[in-house]
Amino acid sequence: MTGVAAGIIGPVIGVYIFYLLQFSGTASFDQYIDHIATLRILPKILVVSLLVNLAFFFGFLRLKIDFAAHGTIMATIFYGVVIVLLKFLG
């Protein structure tokens, strides 16, 4: 359960980190989300934000918490399906 929760929250943190690095001084977070929706670049930003899950995965492996690592992979696969659906159906 810990890995699934980390895997679902990780990309959200990644999107926020991407916002802080790119737009924090020029736009509010709401404007940033509107900008993403307008340009239809959400799948691309989600792919980059999945790197946070990579850090969680290797952290769980290093701590020898294998079930949490499996949960992170499951959440990443879920995000992968969402990205494919957004890319081809959206």
The whole-number pLDDT of residue 1 equals 78
Going residue by residue through the chain, which has 90 residues, state the pLDDT in tens, using 9 for 90 and above. Answer: 789 999 999 999 999 998 999 888 888 999 999 998 889 888 899 898 899 999 999 999 999 999 999 999 999 999 999 999 988 886
Residue 84, domain extent: 2-89
In this prediction the pTM is 0.83
Which residue has 């990780």 as its token pair?
A: 10
DSSP string of 31-75? HHHHHHHHHT-HHHHHHHHTHHHHHHHHHHHHTT-HHHHHHHHHH
Residue closest to 60 by CA, chosen among 69, 47, 48: 69
The whole-number pLDDT of residue 72 equals 95
Which residues, in sequence order, are CB contacts of 86 under 8 Å at separation 6+? 42, 43, 46
The whole-number pLDDT of residue 84 equals 93
Total domains in the fold of the chain: 1
Residue closest to 82 by CA, chosen among 32, 43, 37, 33: 43
